[in-house]
């Protein structure tokens, strides 16, 4: 049974049982605890936490959620069950059915005949576990389902008690296992061998609330939840293993085709469980995860989600190289995994070109990194050998891995070729320290989620009614006051307070649009609102300063939006839609939005694209946007269902978790139609001119356009016009001739600079004889240390040092030169062949000099360069170099 059919059967089973079919959320939700969605229940957290009421008519839902877990990337492929990307099929009940319903649903699907829509698993091979004292679940399994008591095992809190890792809902769980047979391990059930007995489904009975604590079993149970909920998760990939009759997830219909392509590319064979087999699995696993992350808008970078993607893609590349690949590989891997995944994720088809382009750009960049890392490795290996040591230190290996992105596998292989061992234990210790720091950081972030508990009493009972789409003022009642995280009944002048109202016209920050500014006023009371944030997507929290009087719980106030602020914000946000539409016209549909920021008069727009935009493209984008302004398009807002919005062709943003009802913003018919909850102008002419400032890179495969709107755009153009007029007056040329005149002046200046540089080099070269006369004899070596006049560049230093070294040919000679060039102090060390034969290494001497001038540098034994910032230490540095040579 193919994986996409397994998914379809799961969804059909629960939809026929009355569950709402909920599409998978994006992998990159806005969640303070998570880089990526890592469990099927994550999109439903607001309902389990009590922040929102579930919007499903029957109080039940089902989904097949795409998930990514990357805590143990290095372990991928070592075991055959671990994937960084996986699909979690789940069914959820919010106060409806409980243990018996969840158990019955799961059993019927797993054991139901395939001809009736089930999976047809042999019930005699299914085992279950329950929590230690969960007699109710054990009785349901034995008495109502018919599982023999000997196949029901009770496990402790660490195994069979679930929580999100933070204060909130929790409860016992029951896990379903499949016995794969004696060839896979020893008898005795899941508690004896969880390799033979494969866990395929976890049923969580969410009925308690937990307190603070760390670990899986070191927290207090506070009491019962108001409602008993169900959260289950079935591993799609693990069920596929069983129904396809393969040993592990890498041999299923989704991943095995990638391994087959890897065999073709590398010439190696996938067999056994050695290092080569692990590399094949890494390629297959990471290709799928990388593709799905790019699909959901992640681009490679050096931090956050982008860093995880970069690590995954680079592990694919180096695994392929270690298997024998010599050229680029990611395009074929990506195309193969997209072929296997498209039946389940049709949106891959329209994003195919963008995914391949992003992956290939990262591969080409990493191949250059490998060259740099190889150079660094060679330097370290030379240093180690010259010291008479045979072990490459763990610290050096970790620096190559962490700083230069150089994989430890390649370090091990190259060290073996160089006759060196690697201190793997030292490397692992450094890696463990890094993981511990990352884990501590993640744990610290998790506690941040508990801070919203102070708002919980208002979230469901008193959602804020937002009237700001049509009104700039509103009469409201104060429902809550919060100071320093504590609920209070009064705030006085000077207090910073968070105010919760029943009605608000002030826009809360979301969708890239900054929050409104405004005021809350009453008799003798004024609060300046400087920020508005949402809690649980439905409660408006107004962050304000009491500037006059005081405010009480239950008080009536008038909420007012600063009209100038709102006007500028509407212009910028609507202008963003115009830029997006223009961008897609110029670059095509693969230029996908990756984020935005709108504030009065200014907008920035991030999009996934690998190439720098040309001046002509920027001009065309600006022209199209301003043509839309001039066309005075009507800006229409339509409230409809998510399904209807998609049928209309509305574009959605990555990372947004949309509800069943959405707001569509349509501009000029087909010109622009997007899902958007922001505030907008009524017509595009109200935006005013749009001035594109330029575009830049914000990471591998991601670009950013910045622009002004409205009066800020007018002021920008006025300033540019004044600058051009002043320049034209200075050059006595018409404005339209300025580019040519400036180009001519620039060429003249460059020619003059080259002539001056040539004269300087000639002048310095004429002094080489004079300089050599200053050389000193240090043992067997002739040493020249000299500070040249200020302003000599690093390139000129190299030319002079090469000349002087040439004049010392035939004898053991060392040349050390430096010159202050602005705030920098470039320096160079050159050694003749005879000096190198005596053991002199210019790179080592550069390091000696660096220590005295606050610098760094490196190079080869015969020539090395560096740069420092403390010219006062230069004489001491020269002396240290001579002392170092004297010790030889």
pLDDT-derived band of residue 287, with 50, 70 and 90 as boundaries?
A: very high
The answer to whether 286 is a known ligand-binding residue is no
The answer to whether 577 is a known ligand-binding residue is yes
**Residue 237 tokens, joined:** 């990939």
pLDDT-derived band of residue 447, with 50, 70 and 90 as boundaries?
A: very low
Same domain, 547 and 572: no
What are the tens digits of pLDDT across the range 577-602?
999 999 999 988 777 788 889 999 99
Point out the domain boundary residue: 561, 582, 617.
561
**Residue 664 tokens, joined:** 């569509």
Angle at 764 between CA 760 and CA 770, to 5 degrees: 160
In a domain, 454, yes or no: no
**Residue 497 tokens, joined:** 């307070």
Distances (CA, A) of 585 to 2, 602, 621: 39, 22, 8
DSSP for residue 140: I
pLDDT for the residue numbered 664: 92
In a domain, 491, yes or no: yes
Of the candidates 549, 491, 542, 494, the residue with the CA atom closest to the CA atom of residue 519: 542
pLDDT for the residue numbered 138: 96
According to the 3-state scheme, what is the secondary structure of 154-192?
EECHHHHEEECCCCEEEEEEEEEEEECCHHHCCCCCCCC
Same domain, 265 and 320: yes
CA–CA separation, 707 and 687 (whole Å): 12
pLDDT-derived band of residue 655, with 50, 70 and 90 as boundaries?
A: very low
- Residue with the larger pLDDT of the pair 809 and 93: 93
- pLDDT surpassing 90 at residue 135: yes
CA–CA separation, 1 and 52 (whole Å): 38
pLDDT-derived band of residue 478, with 50, 70 and 90 as boundaries?
A: very high
The answer to whether 490 is a known ligand-binding residue is no
pLDDT for the residue numbered 81: 67
In a domain, 383, yes or no: yes
- pLDDT surpassing 80 at residue 782: yes
What are the tens digits of pLDDT across the range 353-398?
989 999 998 898 888 777 777 778 888 888 888 878 888 888 888 8
127 contacts 150 by C-beta, under 8 angstroms: no
pLDDT for the residue numbered 486: 87
pLDDT for the residue numbered 628: 95
pLDDT-derived band of residue 739, with 50, 70 and 90 as boundaries?
A: confident
Point out the domain boundary residue: 538, 561, 584.
561
Same domain, 14 and 69: yes
**Sign of the C-alpha dihedral computed for residues 768, 773, 778 and 780 taken in this order:** positive
Same domain, 338 and 409: yes
In a domain, 793, yes or no: yes
In a domain, 732, yes or no: no
455 contacts 500 by C-beta, under 8 angstroms: yes
- pLDDT surpassing 90 at residue 725: no
**Residue 16 tokens, joined:** 């026929």
Same domain, 588 and 513: no
- CATH number of the domain to which 692 belongs: 3.30.980.10
Same domain, 231 and 146: yes
| Residues in contact with 879: Cβ distance below 8 Å, sequence separation at least 6, in sequence order | none
In Å, how far from its chain's centre is CA 577?
Answer: 24
- Residue with the larger pLDDT of the pair 73 and 277: 277
Same domain, 339 and 422: yes
Percent of the chain with pLDDT over 70: 94
| Residues in contact with 338: Cβ distance below 8 Å, sequence separation at least 6, in sequence order | 291, 348, 352, 355
CA–CA separation, 367 and 351 (whole Å): 25
Angle at 706 between CA 700 and CA 709, to 5 degrees: 160
Q: What are phi and psi of 818, to 5 degrees?
A: -150, 160
- CATH number of the domain to which 234 belongs: 3.30.930.10
Residue with tokens 């199209």: 624
- pLDDT surpassing 80 at residue 701: no
Point out the domain boundary residue: 541, 561, 581.
561
What are the tens digits of pLDDT across the range 42-58?
888 888 877 778 889 89
CA–CA separation, 382 and 682 (whole Å): 69
CA–CA separation, 745 and 239 (whole Å): 71
Average pLDDT over residues 4-13: 96
Distances (CA, A) of 358 to 303, 595, 654, 662, 843: 17, 17, 16, 30, 38
> Which residue range(s) make up the domain with 503?
462-561
**Residue 426 tokens, joined:** 């030292």
Count of domains forming the chain? 5
Average pLDDT over residues 718-743: 85
pLDDT for the residue numbered 852: 93
In Å, how far from its chain's centre is CA 24?
Answer: 19
- CATH number of the domain to which 527 belongs: 2.40.30.130
Same domain, 439 and 473: no
- pLDDT surpassing 70 at residue 448: no
Number of C-alpha atoms within 13 angstroms, CB side, residue 824?
Answer: 11
- Residue with the larger pLDDT of the pair 273 and 131: 131
What are the tens digits of pLDDT across the range 136-155?
999 999 999 999 999 999 99
- CATH number of the domain to which 796 belongs: 3.10.310.40
The answer to whether 401 is a known ligand-binding residue is no
- pLDDT surpassing 60 at residue 450: no
pLDDT for the residue numbered 440: 57
In a domain, 86, yes or no: yes
pLDDT for the residue numbered 526: 96
In a domain, 759, yes or no: no
Q: What are phi and psi of 692, to 5 degrees?
A: -80, 120
- pLDDT surpassing 50 at residue 167: yes
What are the tens digits of pLDDT across the range 516-557?
999 999 999 999 999 999 887 788 999 999 999 999 999 999
Same domain, 200 and 347: no
pLDDT for the residue numbered 438: 59
What angle do helix axes 330-341 and 275-295 make, rounded to 10 degrees? 70
In a domain, 154, yes or no: yes
Burial profile 327-349: b = 16 or more Cβ within 10 angstroms, e = fewer = eebbebbbbbbbebbebbbeebe
Average pLDDT over residues 827-852: 93
Lowest mean pLDDT among 8-17, 442-451, 819-828: 442-451
CA–CA separation, 677 and 873 (whole Å): 61
DSSP per position, 39-84: STTGGGHHHHTTSS----TTSEEEEEEEEE--TTGGGBTTBSS--S
| Residues in contact with 64: Cβ distance below 8 Å, sequence separation at least 6, in sequence order | 7, 10, 11, 24, 40, 87, 88, 89, 90, 236
pTM: 0.62
Same domain, 99 and 122: yes
- pLDDT surpassing 80 at residue 766: no
Type and span of the H or E element at 303: none
| Residues in contact with 73: Cβ distance below 8 Å, sequence separation at least 6, in sequence order | 84, 308, 311, 312, 315
Same domain, 867 and 816: yes
pLDDT for the residue numbered 657: 55
Average pLDDT over residues 838-857: 92
pLDDT for the residue numbered 449: 39
DSSP per position, 234-246: EEHHHHHHHHHT-
Lowest mean pLDDT among 398-402, 442-446, 604-608: 442-446
Q: What rounded mean pLDDT belongs to the chain? A: 88
Same domain, 505 and 652: no
| Residues in contact with 428: Cβ distance below 8 Å, sequence separation at least 6, in sequence order | 394
Count of CB atoms situated within 10 Å of the CB of 842: 27
């Amino acid at each position: 049974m193919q994986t996409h059919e397994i998914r379809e059967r799961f969804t059909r089973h629960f939809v026929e049982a009355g569950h709402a079919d909920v599409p998978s959320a994006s992998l990159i939700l806005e969640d303070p605890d998570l880089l990526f969605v890592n469990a099927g229940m994550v999109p439903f957290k607001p309902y389990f936490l009590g922040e929102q009421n579930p919007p499903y008519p029957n109080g039940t839902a089902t989904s097949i959620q795409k998930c990514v877990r990357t805590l143990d990337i290095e372990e991928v492929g070592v075991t055959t069950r671990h994937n960084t990307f996986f699909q979690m099929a789940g069914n959820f009940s919010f106060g409806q059915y409980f243990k018996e319903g969840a158990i019955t649903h799961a059993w019927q699907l797993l054991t139901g005949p395939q001809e009736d829509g089930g999976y047809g698993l042999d019930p005699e091979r299914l085992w279950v576990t329950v929590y230690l004292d969960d007699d109710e679940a054990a009785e349901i399994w034995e008495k109502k389902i018919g599982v023999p008591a000997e196949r029901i095992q009770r496990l402790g809190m660490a195994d069979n008690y679930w929580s999100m890792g933070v204060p909130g809902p929790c409860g016992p769980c029951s896990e379903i296992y499949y016995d794969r047979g004696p060839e896979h391990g020893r008898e005795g059930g899941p508690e004896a061998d969880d390799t033979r007995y494969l866990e395929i489904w976890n049923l969580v009975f969410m009925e308690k609330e937990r307190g603070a604590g760390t670990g899986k079993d070191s927290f207090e149970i506070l009491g019962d939840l108001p409602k008993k909920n169900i959260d289950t998760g079935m591993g799609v990939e693990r069920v596929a293993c069983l129904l396809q009759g393969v040993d592990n997830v890498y041999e299923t219909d989704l991943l095995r085709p990638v391994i087959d392509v890897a065999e073709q590319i590398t010439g190696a064979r996938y067999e056994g469980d050695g290092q080569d087999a692990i590399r094949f699995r890494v390629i297959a696993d990471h290709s799928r995860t990388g593709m799905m992350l790019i699909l959901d808008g992640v681009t490679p970078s050096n931090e956050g989600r982008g860093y995880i993607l970069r690590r995954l893609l680079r592990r694919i590349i180096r695994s392929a190289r270690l298997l024998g690949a010599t050229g680029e590989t990611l395009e074929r891997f990506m195309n193969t995994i997209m072929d296997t995944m498209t039946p389940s994720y049709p949106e891959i088809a329209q994003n195919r070109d963008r995914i391949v382009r992003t992956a290939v750009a990262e591969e080409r960049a990493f191949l250059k990194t490998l060259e740099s890392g190889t150079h660094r490795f060679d330097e370290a290996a030379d240093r180690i050998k010259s010291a008479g040591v045979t072990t490459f230190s763990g610290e050096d290996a970790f620096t190559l891995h962490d700083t230069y992105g150089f994989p430890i596998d390649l370090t091990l292989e190259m060290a073996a070729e160089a006759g060196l061992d690697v201190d793997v234990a030292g490397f692992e210790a450094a890696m463990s320290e890094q993981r511990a720091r990352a884990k501590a950081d993640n744990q610290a972030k998790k506690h941040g989620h508990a801070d919203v508990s102070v708002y919980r009493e208002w979230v469901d009972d008193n959602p804020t009614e937002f009237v700001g789409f049509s009104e700039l003022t509103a009469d409201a009642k104060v429902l809550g006051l919060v100071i320093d995280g504590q609920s209070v009944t009064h705030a006085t002048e000077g207090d910073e307070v968070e105010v919760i109202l029943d009605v608000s016209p002030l826009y809360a920050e979301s969708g890239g649009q900054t929050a409104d500014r405004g005021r809350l006023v009453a008799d003798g009371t004024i609060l300046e609102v400087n920020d508005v944030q949402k809690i649980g997507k439905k409660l408006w929290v107004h962050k304000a300063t009491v500037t006059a009087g005081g405010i009480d719980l239950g008080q009536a106030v008038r909420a007012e939006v600063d009209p100038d602020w709102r006007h500028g914000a509407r212009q910028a946000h609507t202008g963003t839609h115009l830029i997006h539409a223009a961008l897609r016209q110029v670059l095509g549909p693969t230029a996908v939005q990756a984020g935005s920021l709108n504030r009065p008069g200014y907008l920035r727009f991030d999009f996934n694209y690998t190439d720098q935009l040309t001046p002509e493209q920027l001009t065309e984008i600006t022209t199209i946007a301003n043509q839309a302004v001039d066309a005075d398009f009507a800006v229409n807002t339509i409230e409809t269902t998510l399904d209807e919005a998609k049928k209309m062709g509305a574009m959605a943003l990555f990372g947004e978790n949309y509800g069943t009802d959405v707001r569509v913003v349509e501009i000029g018919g087909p010109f622009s139609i997007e899902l958007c909850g922001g505030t907008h102008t009524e017509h595009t002419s109200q935006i005013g001119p749009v001035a594109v400032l330029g575009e830049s890179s914000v990471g591998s495969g991601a670009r950013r356009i910045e622009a002004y709107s409205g009066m800020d755009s007018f002021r920008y153009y006025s300033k540019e016009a004044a600058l051009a007029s002043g320049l034209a007056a200075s050059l006595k040329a018409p404005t339209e001739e300025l580019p040519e005149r400036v180009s001519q002046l620039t060429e003249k200046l460059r020619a003059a600079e080259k002539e001056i540089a040539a004269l300087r080099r000639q002048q310095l070269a004429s002094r080489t004889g004079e300089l050599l006369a200053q050389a000193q004899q240090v043992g067997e070596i002739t040493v020249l240390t000299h500070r040249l006049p200020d302003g000599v560049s690093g390139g000129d230093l190299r030319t002079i040092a090469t000349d002087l070294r040439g004049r010392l040919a035939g004898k053991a000679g060392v040349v050390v030169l430096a010159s202050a060039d602005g705030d920098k102090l470039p320096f160079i060390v050159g050694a003749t062949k005879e000096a190198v034969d005596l053991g002199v290494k210019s790179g080592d001497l550069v390091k000696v000099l660096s220590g005295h001038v606050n610098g760094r540098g490196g190079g080869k034994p015969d020539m090395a360069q560096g740069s420092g910032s403390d010219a006062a230490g230069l004489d001491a540095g020269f002396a240290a170099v001579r002392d170092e040579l004297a010790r030889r």
